[in-house]
Structure 1
């Protein structure tokens, strides 16, 4: 069976690293993006240049119709999705009492609803063949909580609950569901914190550095591999020991 991966939010950062590494492992990859078309096309082109198969597809994961269309397009061009990586997400700092209805619902609809939409879109084939793997990207803040990032932390905690519960539901169909909880990863998303804060977070990390997108990609590739065939419902912390 051909191995086809759909990686959401894969135009840059962690998603980009995941897409590139999965391609190195022999997956055909759908590189999902919302706004950064040029970067997504560059990721897909890099994969093709290296001898792999890839395509970039725009879709807002919060929009069920767009997700369904993306999955159909992927199936037509690359084949049915055998690995889904739910990486797309939004983050930001705001005090809880200042969160508007619009912001609250957007966090929920992207970070949690997006995972629901993509999983439901790829499940029919996985259930039919009784095989497949789903890896959700949560966060250490979903495990620990985060001041001034309540909405983000809530949705990332919910992804962990989704992972564990869905793993039990899908285990009889031999579909594995796991989760990676990254620590502080050096991407554009964390640069807004400022260099002083990032240095402090690196000092708080037992391994003494910020993580790289590739650190997270390695964890995803492992969970998707046959070496992890007896692992489901697990939360793998790629955090340099931040949470022990």
Structure 2
């Protein structure tokens, strides 16, 4: 990733922050894109000092088309282009479907699916002009399989998986690759509200016998973003400890 410019949405915590750190370690310049009220600015300041001025923060709400457009315009202006994007911003959502109101359902869809499209669209516009680039969308194991009480989330992530295929077909003739990554249950702040019995239940779903670590998903993103994946497009790389291996 030497001398490459990378944007990571949802980059202020969890998988996103781990991906920022891995890209910096591999020589990239990285934009942490996250909400204004996130810890993105403080993380960027600390990482910028550690990595020779190669990390910066841009406030961006992926539900706002204007903010997404500004993120890419400013990144191009300051870094000269966008070589890779981790389209990672998202939220969870667990509730019985008969109790989910329109507002909550649409909020999950707007961030986890529409937001992914807004970022993808802006990324492709830049990458098409360059004639190169790698876009990686964050899907999920629940983009491939259903789960009780997660109708909105699974609908959004399933949409991300199939959107990735369609975008990859469109983008390939223009020199741009589009892939997705499908994390299993990862040990991030999103799981902090769960009790120990629930955590142990999640662990039991993974044949490898533990939850994933954020840096393990980051390594998957790093591969898909890099030139080492030059013949890989339109796929979803599962980083799930074997969760999906025994399901069909």
**TM-score of the aligned structures, taking structure 2 as reference length:** 0.94
CA RMSD between the two structures: 1.4
2:53 aligned with 1:48: no
Q: In the TM superposition, what is the alpha-carbon distance from 1:35 to its structure 2 partner?
A: 4.8
TM-score normalised to the size of structure 1? 0.95
Per-residue CA deviation, residues 73-109 of structure 1 (Å, 9 max, x unaligned), is: 2222222211111110011211111211111111111
| Counterpart for residue 140 of structure 2 | 139
Q: Secondary structure at the match of 1:80?
A: coil
Of 43-52 and 200-209, deviating more is: 43-52
**2: CA distance, partners of 1:182 / 1:67:** 24
1:24 positional shift: 1.2
Provide the C-alpha distance between the structure 2 equivalents of 1:238 and 1:120, rounded to a whole number of angstroms: 25
Is 1:220 the counterpart of 2:221? The answer is yes
Question: Paired residue for 1:65?
Answer: 66
Q: How does 1:58-137 map to 2 (within 5 A)?
A: 58-137=59-138
Instruction: For residue 127 of structure 1, report the CA deviation from its aligned partner.
Output: 0.7
CA distance in 2, matches of 1:180, 1:46: 27
CA distance in 2, matches of 1:46, 1:226: 28
CA-to-partner distance for each residue in 1:156-190, whole Å, 9 max, x for gaps? 11000011111111111120001110001001112
**Which stretches in structure 2 are left out of the alignment for 5+ residues?**
none
Q: Which deviates more, 83-92 or 122-131?
A: 122-131
CA contact (8 A) 1:11 1:36 kept: no
How many residue pairs match? The answer is 243
Distance 1:31 1:210 in 2: 25
Stretch moving more, 1-10 or 61-70: 1-10
